[in-house]
Structure 1
Amino acid sequence: MKSYLFLSFFIALRSFSQINPQNVTIARDRWGVPHIFAKTDPEVAYGLAYAHAEDDFKTIQLICLPAKGKLGKHLGKQGASVDYVVELLHAPELVAAEYETALSSDFKNVINGYLQGLNDYAARHPDEVLVKGVFPVTPQDYFKGVVLSLAVISGVDATLQQIYGGKVAAIDFLKATGSNAIAIHKSKTADGQAYLAINSHQPLEGPVAWYEAHLCSEEGWNILGGLFPAGATVFHGVNEHLGWAHTVNGQDKIDVYQLEINPVNKNQYRFDGQWVDLESKSVKLRVKGIPFPIIKKAYWSKYGATVVTKKGTFSIRTGANLDLRGVEQWYRMNKARTFSEFYQALTMTAIPGFNIVYADADTIFYVSNGKIPLRDPAYNWKSTLPGNTSKTLWTAYHPLKELPQYVNPAGGYLFNMNHTPFNATAPADNLKASQFDPTMGYETFDNNRSARFAELMQGTGKLDYETFKRFKYDGQLPKKLMYPIDVNPFFSLKATDYPEVSDLIETLRQWDRRTGPESKGAAVFLGIYTYLKNNLPSDNQLSAEKCAAILRLVKADFQSHFGRTDIRLGEYQKLVRGTRELPVWGLPDVITAMHSVTHQDGKLKVQAGESYIELVRFEKGKLPVIETVNCFGASNHADNPHYADQMELFLQQKTKAMTLDKTTVLKEAKRVYHPGE
């Protein structure tokens, strides 16, 4: 019976498929990284899906399940809430309206190829399918998942939590995991090459952990970089001509409106003096362990997704669920051969957020990218808006040329570390916030990483490549700490005033602000940070007495679990993969950032931060010189030799050499095969 079901499923999927897997070559290098070769882009996409499924099919399915309304069947209530958000955001309606017309035919062919590869893998491995009925995944399913992902990028998840909670969320230290992007122009380097650091800080595992792949077709697609599970194209990386890095930005991409509800009809709201009916639909949520579907209403107003709470009825509006083309823009960026072509791809402004730091042999460029609405300046867009007038209903967006951006600044370098776009290069070359529409809501703050990088660059002449790498791997905090809560009072404590924690106070006072695994000061500071992450003072202020009280708790914790207080960071913080547990450097908001959670026996394990790193050198007329490293390995299967084989390299802050040259890849590959073999 089982073999019959498999055969039926396989036949059904093969009728959907048009790509012959024999036309696709997967070459696994010594690190297990897949290099996909084929004649056409859709065939390469097929190979990417198949190779990635071989390495991490389970996580890919976590992206596909909500689009099918089936995450609740796998994860229970938590998953069902995600299924509901897909419907709340009108993802099915957007896909139905735009799939045929908004997306180009060549890109739809790429997505078809990707899904054929994914569906073929599911057909050949039915025991790995998490929930019955998920496969085959159609293009329409896929883009419903894209809408959800781009909405989360824009902050919809946090906004919904605030609305349902009836309050603004507190500072979330862990969420601000950070990223780094650095580009150095050839005029600023000792060897005349341009340098690019692609250094996003992401969760180390899960649906938004980086996967490394090389995609190469005979149609001009030749790129190596990082993508997320279910990504059909590289999200940031380097091709034969150019490369770019992303960091998360925080300009105002999402607005919240309070609707004026009709007192005699709760299903109506006032809009331009008229009562208008709320759109509604019944969503069937299927939850693991519950034999019948749960029915929940999803509402929609002229502004967008609408939530009814005890404190009022609120609508959310963001460009992320009003445009289907985000992934196509990434594909166009992948295929660009010149800065002009790359910039043309960016004019789509379909990716709702992310800073973009770019380099090629002649040009460096930075833009704080986003799908930013054109808003009426008469309203306060930082607050909840009146949802009863067309004056607050924006319908257009700022074009790319109006966003903060730099091309080849005189200082010779560009950087972003999740801070203000108005500190992106040498001080004399920076843009000013006053030059831009204030309703865009761009960040105006710096952080520890940006402050430290500015310290490193101050007074530098031409950089050699080793100095560039040293700056990228710098693990020191700046002279003045710039966390969301002012922790500087800890360093002003006098040991004589608090003898019971005098040892920790002295350790902090003598600390050089470096965050290597041997640092005792970094261990004490991480203990402080871990406490504050979960126990922020209501006024965000730290008195000397409060600092001393926190140090007493840290000391008690260290003594309880380690039997002493002079522990090193690497004893306290671990990089954990399966049964392996190794000392690791880094703290939140150093350039080599690490964010940890409770592990066991008083230890912490890194959950997010430094993960996939790609360093590139560009020289005119030559292939880019590339080196990369991933925090664990190419496979998410514990029994695979590439499950953790990059871990030691990563911890030593070393890299592996990579190439875009097909001949070299095939010559040095450890395994070359076709999907399904």
Structure 2
Amino acid sequence: MLRKLAVLALAPLFACGSTTATTTETDGSSSTGDSDTAGTTGEPAYRATIRRTSFGVAHVLADDLGSALFGQAYAFAQDHACTLADQIVKVRSERAKYFGRGSGDAHLTSDFAYQALEVGLRAQRMWDAAPAEVQTAIEGYAAGYNQYLRDTPPGELPSDCAGAPWVKEIEALDLVRYYVDLGLLGSGNQLVGYIGTAQPPGVPSRMPGGPLAGLGTLTSGGFGSNGWALGADKTASGGGIVVANPHFPWTGELKLWESHLTVPDELNIYGVGLMGVPGVLIGFNDELGWTHTFSAGTRFTFYKLTLDPNDPTAYLYDGTSRPMTAKTFEVEVAGEGKVSRTLWYSHYGPMLNVDPIGWSTDVALTYRDANIENPRLIEQFLGMDRAKSLDEFKQVYQTVQGIPWVNTMAADKHGDAWYADASATAQISDAAIAGWQAAIEDDFLTGLLYQQGGLVVLDGSDSTYEWQDSGDARAPGLVPFSGVPQLARRDFVFNANDSYWLANPAEPLEGFSPLHGSERAPQSPRTRINAMLLQNDPRFPVAGDDGKFSLTEVKAAIQGNHSLTADLVLDDLLQRCDAQHLIEVAGATVDLRTICELLGAWDRRFNPDSVGAVLFREYLAAYGADSVLDRGSLFNAPFDPEDPVHTPHTLKAPAEGQVDGALVALGEAVINLKTAGVPLSAPLKQLQRAPRGSVEIGVHGGFAKEGIANVVGYNAGLNSTLLPKVYRPETVDGTAGLTERGYVVNYGSSFVMAVEFGPDGPQGEAFLTYSQSEDPRSPHFRDQTELFSRKEWRPLLFREADIAADPNLHETVVEGG
């Protein structure tokens, strides 16, 4: 039965009310509705059909690329209009205009930093350099977003921005400003608090800067992910399989949004993209699929300047004093009017204010950014989406060179797999590398920042440390595509945020600049378990007797929640517990028999119903983050670069006559859990909770130390949104983040996809862990979160027949522009 519905009747479902859109609801059969174009004159510039299937996935069909992206933006805005509006305010340097100075002048500092980064000027250059079809795509996307705002009364927007004066129509150039910022995600975007507050000594208005401790996540952005690409030698079908498992925030602008774009005979691409970005970032087409992980390399280099003793706004360069450049910027502040601030630049880039180092009369920090000039970001993504073979896909990497900060794993229908870390990376000379590595040992600041997370600090007063231009990279001073780590295989390639070195352990990639990442270095437990799963290691024989993966087997493997750390130490721990039941902890005697019985019965997984997972997590809380990388407080056998997947291992034994630290840690876990009022036998889902509005959903998955592929957790600082975030209460002392609400989850596995290229084309399943819509009124606000909590994968509807047959199919025709 078919019935036609007025558009406004579907407003609660789609969060839209259009006077220029035709909407029909179907029971699975094909239909076409009449078009209501009241208020429009002439032929619209764009027209697209949005077909929403189960869980709110948007399949957009159009006759041309501009219209397809018009429709994609319209559908995106139905789910996330507030998120993009918030980011446009940010990159326009208008946060203080609408929200005041902010706590600790945070909004004001952000506005000044984005002015200092000159995102407007760089956006114009990006636009001018863009091919015509990229301009068409961005214009279509902006028009689609604007059309949604025209069709939706301000008061009917989601509650996060309903009636807000800062939600406005945008221009294509506003989107490009935002894309400049996204390109800086592993660099300048993370340095806003350091850039916007940098003032020379003697200035009376000097301000606190960004914290030294905050620099530790700059090389990774704090992001994680697992990415697998399996070739013919490793799959049961002989075609490629791609497994995507990006670990990103569950709130804010870094969420992923799912869609399917079809332009007949031109484009047919399915997957997820970042908020407000045209096309697909991670996904598949008829020929191949791909995924990304955040690169372990560095997207910038710090420079330590030796200042001119007579002028703190000048520095020595090859023995000569070189003046800095000053630029004064102006920001409008709510209730105050215009406020100005002068910021400073070396020839490398903006000056930085790092607490407690600051900017003294002797030394200062500046930086050079590998992605500050990346006009090809959108061209790169659209080129990947349109590739009709793996060779064409690689050609986009070679000719465009627009990848900003990710590794790529891809596989095609012929069973070829490919890995590359094509992220923008500085090219420095061997002499500069040697000098920097010597300074790590000899110079306190250089060594300290390297220990903070592999940060590179070069001597900015010596031209030896300038970036080297080879003439064949996207921008001067970068490593060209021909020089980046890459690997083609017929079995598998993978990455889990360690460096390129072990993209396949059978063929380590070596001999590259350390700015790409480390070689022959300890690997995280997550990298190790990824490798073991793919190798069908006897510890985790997930591919069965034949060692070849089916789609069912890769799904079970990536969501199996096996804990490698538990597998490495738990047998030893239980033996010692059997030998000594009582342990003194902080003056109290703790009986370990019950906890050891529970751990002995535990399945060593972090599944929803796993009893013992919480105990083991709290046991590991006694050990530092680095304890899982090499011999130390936890492991006895050290890391061996000749066997990097299987080392380190074995629980460290106590020295002769010393108290067993492992049993003390276990006793501390018992005390901490009892202090928190947590039953020792609590299943994981009872404590590990993901808030979606007023509902908290128990989810599976583990933390980094636990050696689990499927990561979930809490991170307070991974996005810049001013929209509501998920915050956790104060944690119980000594625990692994346990609060009165349990373990609060706002980060981790996001779009989990497994797609196989078989004889009948691509087939896959997935879930978007935080669900498709950010509007609490939508039925798709938490439906996939509940799927994820139950490990219930859903099919990816790629074929026209499957889309038409979906029982929840809704079609909307949108036009305008």
1:61 partner SS: helix
Is the contact between residue 282 and residue 290 of structure 2 (CA under 8 Å) also seen in structure 1? yes
Taking the TM superposition and a 5 Å limit, the aligned residue runs for 1:222-371 are 222-287=268-333, 290-307=335-352, 309-311=358-360, 312-347=363-398, 348-362=400-414, 363-371=416-424
Which of the residues 784, 787, 797 maps onto 1:646? 784
Are 1:148 and 2:194 counterparts?
no
Change over 3 Å in CA distance of 1:491–1:605 after alignment to 2: farther
Are 1:592 and 2:710 counterparts?
yes
Paired with 1:246 and 1:662, the residues of 2 have a C-alpha distance of 27
Partner of 2:16: none
Change over 3 Å in CA distance of 1:605–1:316 after alignment to 2: same
Partner of 1:4: none
Q: Mark the runs of 5 or more structure 1 residues left unpaired by the alignment.
A: 1-9
Partner of 1:95: 123
2:174 partner SS: helix
1:23 partner SS: strand
Paired with 2:85 and 2:662, the residues of 1 have a C-alpha distance of 45
Partner of 2:139: 112
Q: What is the Cα deviation at residue 676 of structure 1?
A: 7.4
Change over 3 Å in CA distance of 1:594–1:166 after alignment to 2: closer
Are 1:455 and 2:532 counterparts?
yes
Is the contact between residue 246 and residue 752 of structure 2 (CA under 8 Å) also seen in structure 1? yes
Is the contact between residue 113 and residue 193 of structure 2 (CA under 8 Å) also seen in structure 1? no
Q: What is the Cα deviation at residue 454 of structure 1?
A: 2.9
Change over 3 Å in CA distance of 1:369–1:511 after alignment to 2: farther
Partner of 1:3: none
Taking the TM superposition and a 5 Å limit, the aligned residue runs for 1:130-149 are 132=165, 135-149=168-182
Name the amino acid aligned to 2:177.
K
Bigger fraction of residues in helix: 1
Change over 3 Å in CA distance of 1:556–1:534 after alignment to 2: farther
Name the amino acid aligned to 1:571.
Q
Deviations 1:100-141 (A, max 9, x none): 1x2111101100111111122233343446753663322332
Name the amino acid aligned to 2:792.
K
Are 1:634 and 2:772 counterparts?
yes
Deviations 1:358-385 (A, max 9, x none): 0111221111221112102222175421
Q: What is the Cα deviation at residue 612 of structure 1?
A: 1.2
Q: How many residues align?
A: 652
1:452 partner SS: helix
Partner of 2:615: 524
1:24 partner SS: strand
80-89 vs 233-242, which moves further: 80-89
Change over 3 Å in CA distance of 1:384–1:188 after alignment to 2: closer
1:365 partner SS: strand
Paired with 2:138 and 2:701, the residues of 1 have a C-alpha distance of 38
Change over 3 Å in CA distance of 1:492–1:48 after alignment to 2: farther
Is the contact between residue 773 and residue 780 of structure 2 (CA under 8 Å) also seen in structure 1? yes
- Larger Cα Rg: Structure 1 or Structure 2? 2
Q: TM-score under structure 1 normalisation?
A: 0.86
Partner of 2:752: 613
Taking the TM superposition and a 5 Å limit, the aligned residue runs for 1:8-19 are none
Q: What is the Cα deviation at residue 568 of structure 1?
A: 1.9
Q: What is the Cα deviation at residue 531 of structure 1?
A: 7.7
Are 1:657 and 2:802 counterparts?
no
Paired with 1:258 and 1:307, the residues of 2 have a C-alpha distance of 10
Change over 3 Å in CA distance of 1:105–1:226 after alignment to 2: same
Is the contact between residue 240 and residue 660 of structure 1 (CA under 8 Å) also seen in structure 2? no
Q: What is the Cα deviation at residue 527 of structure 1?
A: 3.5
1:422 partner SS: helix
Taking the TM superposition and a 5 Å limit, the aligned residue runs for 1:31-110 are 31-72=55-96, 73-74=98-99, 76=102, 77-100=105-128, 102-110=129-137
Which of the residues 250, 259, 278 maps onto 1:213? 259
Partner of 1:7: none
2:327 partner SS: strand
Partner of 1:401: 482
Are 1:603 and 2:725 counterparts?
no
Deviations 1:383-404 (A, max 9, x none): 4212224332214222222222
Are 1:413 and 2:473 counterparts?
no
Partner of 1:558: 673
Change over 3 Å in CA distance of 1:676–1:383 after alignment to 2: closer
1:47 partner SS: helix
Paired with 1:78 and 1:318, the residues of 2 have a C-alpha distance of 22
Identity of aligned residues (%): 22
Which of the residues 430, 441, 454 maps onto 2:517? 441
Q: What is the Cα deviation at residue 333 of structure 1?
A: 0.6
Paired with 2:326 and 2:481, the residues of 1 have a C-alpha distance of 35
Q: TM-score under structure 2 normalisation?
A: 0.72
Partner of 2:237: 191
Change over 3 Å in CA distance of 1:206–1:98 after alignment to 2: closer
Partner of 1:24: 48
Deviations 1:569-608 (A, max 9, x none): 1111113212322322111131121114736634122111
Change over 3 Å in CA distance of 1:652–1:602 after alignment to 2: closer
Name the amino acid aligned to 1:304.
G
Q: What is the Cα deviation at residue 629 of structure 1?
A: 1.1
Is the contact between residue 204 and residue 611 of structure 1 (CA under 8 Å) also seen in structure 2? yes
Q: What is the Cα deviation at residue 197 of structure 1?
A: 0.6
Which of the residues 664, 684, 688 maps onto 1:569? 684
Is the contact between residue 525 and residue 565 of structure 2 (CA under 8 Å) also seen in structure 1? no
216-225 vs 72-81, which moves further: 72-81
415-424 vs 241-250, which moves further: 415-424
2:337 partner SS: coil
Deviations 1:23-43 (A, max 9, x none): 211111122111111111111
Which of the residues 648, 663, 671 maps onto 2:810? 671
Partner of 1:6: none
Q: What is the Cα deviation at residue 176 of structure 1?
A: 4.7
1:31 partner SS: helix
Name the amino acid aligned to 2:403.
I
Are 1:388 and 2:416 counterparts?
no
Is the contact between residue 500 and residue 517 of structure 2 (CA under 8 Å) also seen in structure 1? no
Q: Mark the runs of 5 or more structure 2 residues left unpaired by the alignment.
A: 1-19, 21-37, 199-208, 438-454, 468-475, 538-545, 635-653, 716-727, 730-738
Change over 3 Å in CA distance of 1:400–1:89 after alignment to 2: same
Q: What is the Cα deviation at residue 546 of structure 1?
A: 7.2
Change over 3 Å in CA distance of 1:552–1:294 after alignment to 2: farther
26-35 vs 658-667, which moves further: 658-667
Paired with 2:457 and 2:223, the residues of 1 have a C-alpha distance of 27
Aligned CA RMSD, in angstroms, stands at 3.6
Is the contact between residue 228 and residue 242 of structure 2 (CA under 8 Å) also seen in structure 1? yes
Change over 3 Å in CA distance of 1:609–1:533 after alignment to 2: farther
2:66 partner SS: helix
Change over 3 Å in CA distance of 1:19–1:32 after alignment to 2: farther
Is the contact between residue 595 and residue 606 of structure 1 (CA under 8 Å) also seen in structure 2? yes
Partner of 1:422: 501
Q: What is the Cα deviation at residue 54 of structure 1?
A: 0.8
